[in-house]
Amino acid sequence: MATKRAKRQQSGLDLPNHPNVMTPEQLSNAIRVASQRQVTDPHLWEDLTHRALFLCSTLEPRHLAFIANGYARRGPSIPSDLFERMAGRAVEVIDQCKPRDIALLLNGFARLQLCHLGLLKAASESVRTRGDLSQWSEQHLALVVNAYARCQCRDLALMSFLGRHIATRASELSPQGVANVANGYCRLDLRDTALFRSLASRVVAIAQRMISQLPSTATQRDPSADSASVFSAQHIANVLHAFAQLDLNDPLVFDSLSRLVPHLIATKQLSRPLELAATAHALGRANVTDRPSAAALSRAVEAHASRFTLAQLAAALHGLTRVMGASPTDVRKCCDACVPVVMQKLRDREKGREEGGEDGMWGMGGYPQSVFLLLCAYTRLEQGDAGLLSVLSGTLERMLEDPSVPDQLGGAGLVGSLHALGRGGTRDSVTDRLMDIIVSRDPSRLTAQQVSNLFLTLSKLRAVDRTDLLDQLCVTLISRGAPGGVGGDDGASPSPPFEPLHLANILLAITQLAGPKWTPPSSVLTRLTDQATAVLSHFTPQLLGTVSYALGELECVEATSWFAAIAERANILLEGQGGDKRGGKRGGGVPMPSVRVLAAMSSLRMAHEETYITLVHNVVPHQLPGLTLPILWQLTAAISHAIIHHGSFKPLADGAGKVVLSPALKACFGTALKSIGRDLLERSRELSLESFWAFAELFHRVGVVPLTPPFDIVALHPEIPAALKTLVDSHGHPKPTSDPSKLWAGDLYQHLTEIAIKSASTETHGLVVASGESGPVTEPMASDMLTSILKVHLSDDAAIRVVSFFMRYAELYQSARLGSKGPVGGILDEITDALVPRLEVCHVNDLCGVMKAASEGDTQDARLIVKTARTIRDRLGAEGEGASEVSAGSLADLLESLDKVRPVMAYIRRRGREGAGGRGEGSLLEGLVAAVVACVDVQLSRIVADLPILCRLLPPLMALGSLSEHVLIAAAESVSARLMAKEQPPAELSRAALTVGQCVVKHPSFAEAQQSATEQPFFRHLSTTAMHVCSSRCIDEADVSTCVEAVLLFAPLSDESVHLRSAVLRRGLKRLGDEATSDIRLGDLAACLGAVAPTLSQLTSPDPAQAEHEHEYERVDVIPSVLAILTRLGQQHRLLKASDACTAAYCCVALLDVLPPAPEPFTASGSEQQVAHEQGRDVSRVEGLLRQMLAAATWKKGDMSGDEKDLLVFVASTVRAEYGHLYDRLPPAVRQALAGVGKEGRGVIRA
């Protein structure tokens, strides 16, 4: 006896007496202590087990809990008869168990993998009947959840009950509690949304606190890393895996936890292979694209690859390749470095030497699953290791001979393996074997994602001969999501309907599979279309375009409901969304989806006019440059197809034609075709002739070839239009959804190319086909052909045609992206060379148009400008002899262009003075202006009768110093008479009045008396019209602003005129301010405020004479209106020009001067205090707006003129002198900038 006691003492356990005489309390304590001290004496444990069997019927709940937990801690040797009797005893006393007893008891049984259903059921009922769980700690709750998870007992009632309670206490859970609960529900595959929403908030809170406490250096260990209040590496792995496995892709959870990963790896807290693999696998499953975490995980996996088991390495690499976009270099390097390790572990596994690991808790599975994950990982890499892929493919083929392997892989593994092998498009015995197995396992049990991937794989493998599998998949598509439909892999519940991505992929795959060997049933297309229409609001623009393209390619007549739904929401679905914006920053649409939807709608002849217009506007014109040539062809084909089938096309004898469309469609499609032609012209240096003829055919079908650049050039050729007509007649109209590269590869357009090359092959103007001795033949591009046709055929054309070509291509040149370096410049040079010799025979109106086109921007050609100007001067005559030949509009064009060609004329003047003593070309400008003035005098009566022409003529005449008094008086009298008679729209009259008024006020030769005599009648009529404009809700706000500026040009002399102007200004300001309903240019608003600012004191001061005119004019308080206008400017102050911001700041200062002072608070009554509060609020608003405007003005002070800088100096000096507190509150940078402007202007401001 003494010897046994000595042995027990040596083993570290000093028992008070022999187990055979122990009480239940002593026995449970002994077992607990023996397990804690890891006592391994088999005789002792045998004695303790015998005693436990003897006392089992008398054990209390806490005794059962200690004994079960002690044996679980001890290890794998399980006395099964003891635990069977303990389970029975536990069921008897379950209602007496405390929370700790239930938790430890269930945890002990679960850890020993003893899933006693009677005990689990009794415990569930006991917990649920207690109702109140406030006494349960988070540890007890987590142990219960994990016990049921270990036993895979999906007690939905208990888990739902526990989930509701845990959700209410989520904010109190420790990091370990959060991780344990999340892991438990994940292992049971229970997606309790409310619970995980609460857990997510707690996870984010803990993670954000940890992020804020991260040390400054990555290598410094976080002092709280071992604290119970922070996540450990295992906790993070558990939480990430749970949220990813249950498809709870909460971005805040994954973002906050992934930001901790680099620090945990750097401090070696996250270094165990199991945790690294679980973290990488979870981030990959959730598609988290955080670059630092992806890079850190890649480097860690690469460094510790040899320590991983095959399952862990497969899971890690599978996860990393799914987030490869975040850090492609690091992931690729990691995968390449792991190839030898994977090969070695595969060889070890084949020889039975691969070590095991507890990977099942993260779903890393066994050997077949590892091979599947590795296949997926390495096939995602571009140019993955061919040797490894061959080994993996061979290994999978051998494993599939075992009937149990398909069950181990399941639907996900089988479809995933086939999908991985099919990425390269190579079909072999392994892929055929996988397809056979999938057919035998009933594809109707596959999930939506697996069905989608399977369709995509079959299309890539061109497996149209597998009609057995395709037909079974079609049955699955029909039954999916229907009432009583089939379930998923487990067969427990019907699978949900397909998501937008699944539907798009399936339809795209069916499009590629459909053909003579297999045709999809119409019921399948109907089912897919109905499901897509039901979830239309969830589609991204790209998926929307894919589905539409597929339906159009399949010629699916069942797609009517789909396109009708798109028509109702086209603006929301396609305009201004993100995605594939290949056309640059301008334009808000999404080009690729819009083109695909448009192509499908036109192919199916859908009649939704507004949708066509929306789709075209999404792409044209600003998105065109980013489209690839095939997509641009599809867009052109869709428009051509829509014009033919939705309009009436009437061919003419010369091969052209006329298309009759609705006005909206005609304008939309016409603009689109012009933009496409311009884009093709700019691409013509890289555009092959075959591609060019493919577009020319589409343009010819709708009869716009002779009018649309660049096809108007090929229309010069005497044979090409007829050849195009023959081609169109013999060639059926291609579908807009077709692949254009197949058309270009044929010989349809070879005849046209031969005609172009043959006719242009002259000695001087040849279409050169370069063939070097050391290289292959270089085919000519479209730009070469166009230039050659111009050289050969334009010289024989009529002058009027050459003029129209010049004006058309000069306009294109101004909007060309490549400017003078582009093909448009070369074409314009050719046209100019043909035009100059023909100027003498051109009509004078055409010459004015040429001058206007030649004066624009970079198109100025001194040779053309000089000869055109001289010809026009001679044709008009010094006394206006040719006035009858020129229209007033052409004179306006000519005058507007003369100011733009002043640099050229200055050069000519200098050359003329040097070469001809001042009598040569230097007098050309003066002579031309004199001729124009003479023609204006001759046509004066007609000009003053046409207000738009009058408004165009007066400003350039004024700028050139050639506006005579009698012309201005005639214009003023005409406008005044029209103002009085109200014969024309008020807005048009107000614009004409502003133009004439500006010239009247600024004309240098008007004497004061003559000006006053002209002004007063004019002013009265103008004010009456302006009041009508300002009061009408149907007139645009820009015209209201014009009226206000026009009225302010004059200084009324009579009291009645003063009151009239005051009423107009008040009404106009109210309309622009607090009654504003439409958009107006910010510059117009600022200009209006700048004109009003000097009159604010008059408009806000008491008017003793107002009562006399109250019955006639409306009294309006201008302060709220001016404040509203300033607020509109302030909301967009960053978009203001410097001059506009300066003007608005000047108005703010003027408004501060007229705002009434607030009464003193201690002397004010209650009503006065309310007024004081409102007045103080207005002053604060104006001060804030003034600070904004000063800041905006100083940001862009480099764009300001000298007068504008002087105005800014005045404003800043006034603010500093009269509102010092406001000036001191300006940012230092603004004060310094104002000081710098002060030094440049005439004032000085101290910073």
Closest listed residue to residue 575, CA positions, set 585, 587, 561: 587
Instruction: Give the pLDDT mean for 819-824.
Output: 65
pLDDT at 255 over 70: yes
Q: Looking at the chain, which residues constitute the CATH 1.25.10 domain(s)?
A: 1-193
What pLDDT band is residue 738 in, cutting at 50, 70 and 90? Answer: confident
Share of residues in the chain with pLDDT > 70 (%): 76
Distance CA 354, CA 343 (A): 12
Task: Out of 239-248, 500-509, 1009-1018, 1078-1087, pick the least confident.
Answer: 1009-1018
DSSP state of 492: S
pLDDT tens track for 495-510:
456 888 888 899 999 9
Instruction: Count the neighbouring beta carbons within 10 Å of the beta carbon of residue 547.
Output: 30
Largest CA distance in the chain: 145
DSSP state of 535: T
Domain 1-193 = CATH 1.10.10: no
Region of residue 966 (phi > 0: left; psi between -120 and 50: alpha; otherwise: beta):
alpha
Structure tokens at 1205: 């800088």
Within 8 A by CB and 6+ apart from 256, the residues are 203, 204, 207, 208, 211
Instruction: Give the pLDDT mean for 784-799.
Output: 80
- Which range is most confident: 201-205, 794-798, 1162-1166? 201-205
Q: Which pLDDT score, from 0 to 100, does residue 171 have?
A: 85
Distance CA 778, CA 781 (A): 9
Share of residues in the chain with pLDDT > 90 (%): 1
Give how far Cα 692 sits from Cα of 620, 680, 815, 822, Å: 19, 8, 21, 17
What pLDDT band is residue 778 in, cutting at 50, 70 and 90? Answer: low
pLDDT at 932 over 70: yes
Structure tokens at 685: 């240096």
Instruction: Give the pLDDT mean for 156-174.
Output: 87
What pLDDT band is residue 652 in, cutting at 50, 70 and 90? Answer: low
Within 8 A by CB and 6+ apart from 893, the residues are 848, 849, 851, 852
Instruction: Give the pLDDT mean for 285-294.
Output: 82
Instruction: Give the pLDDT mean for 722-748.
Output: 72
- Which range is most confident: 696-710, 891-905, 1043-1057, 1158-1172? 696-710
Within 8 A by CB and 6+ apart from 102, the residues are 61, 65, 94, 123, 126, 127, 140, 144
Show the CA angle centred on residue 1200, arms to residues 1196 and 1202, nearest 5°.
150
Within 8 A by CB and 6+ apart from 275, the residues are 233, 234, 236, 237
pLDDT at 1110 over 50: no
Number of H helices, E strands in the chain: 62, 4
Distance CA 134, CA 172 (A): 12
pLDDT at 395 over 60: yes
Structure tokens at 675: 């933009």
Task: Out of 447-451, 489-493, 670-674, 705-709, pick the least confident.
Answer: 489-493
Instruction: Give the pLDDT mean for 359-380.
Output: 74
Are β-strands 777-778 and 770-771 bridged in parallel, bridged antiparallel, or unpaired? antiparallel
Q: Alpha helices, DSSP H only, in 286-385?
A: 291-303, 310-322, 328-350, 367-380
The larger pLDDT score, comparing residue 735 to residue 372, is at 372
Q: Which pLDDT score, from 0 to 100, does residue 1062 have?
A: 73
Task: Out of 273-282, 413-422, 644-653, pick the least confident.
Answer: 644-653
Structure tokens at 248: 């709870």
Give the DSSP H/E element, type plus range, for residue 659: strand 657-660
Q: Which pLDDT score, from 0 to 100, does residue 29 have?
A: 83
What pLDDT band is residue 356 in, cutting at 50, 70 and 90? Answer: very low
- Residue 648: strand, helix, or coil: strand
pLDDT at 1156 over 80: no
Question: Residues of 86-105 as b/e, b for ≥16 C-beta within 10 angstroms?
Answer: bbebbbeebeebebbbbbbb
The CATH number of the structural domain formed by 1132-1240 is: 1.20.58
- Which range is most confident: 185-199, 638-652, 1128-1142? 185-199
pTM: 0.66
- Residue 688: strand, helix, or coil: strand
Give the DSSP H/E element, type plus range, for residue 777: strand 777-778
pLDDT tens track for 69-105:
888 887 767 777 788 888 888 888 888 888 888 888 8
86: Cα separation from own chain's centroid: 64
Task: Out of 147-151, 232-236, 616-620, 704-708, pick the least confident.
Answer: 704-708
Distance CA 1235, CA 1081 (A): 30
Q: Are 1189 and 1148 in contact (CB under 8 A)?
A: yes
pLDDT at 1106 over 60: no
pLDDT tens track for 1066-1103:
777 777 776 666 666 777 777 787 777 777 777 766 55
Distance CA 1201, CA 1054 (A): 36
Distance CA 886, CA 844 (A): 6
pLDDT at 548 over 70: yes
What pLDDT band is residue 999 in, cutting at 50, 70 and 90? Answer: confident
Residue 287, CB-side half-sphere exposure with 13 Å CA sphere:
3
Q: Looking at the chain, which residues constitute the CATH 1.20.58 domain(s)?
A: 1132-1240
Q: Which pLDDT score, from 0 to 100, does residue 491 have?
A: 40
Q: Which pLDDT score, from 0 to 100, does residue 762 have?
A: 44
Instruction: Count the neighbouring beta carbons within 10 Å of the beta carbon of residue 369.
Output: 22
Task: Out of 77-86, 300-309, 706-715, pick the least confident.
Answer: 77-86
Closest listed residue to residue 1197, CA positions, set 1135, 1129, 1137: 1137
Within 8 A by CB and 6+ apart from 927, the residues are 873, 878
End-to-end CA distance of the chain: 101
Q: Which pLDDT score, from 0 to 100, does residue 1046 have?
A: 67
What pLDDT band is residue 278 in, cutting at 50, 70 and 90? Answer: confident
pLDDT at 834 over 80: yes
What pLDDT band is residue 777 in, cutting at 50, 70 and 90? Answer: very low
Distance CA 1233, CA 1229 (A): 6
Q: Which pLDDT score, from 0 to 100, does residue 13 have?
A: 62
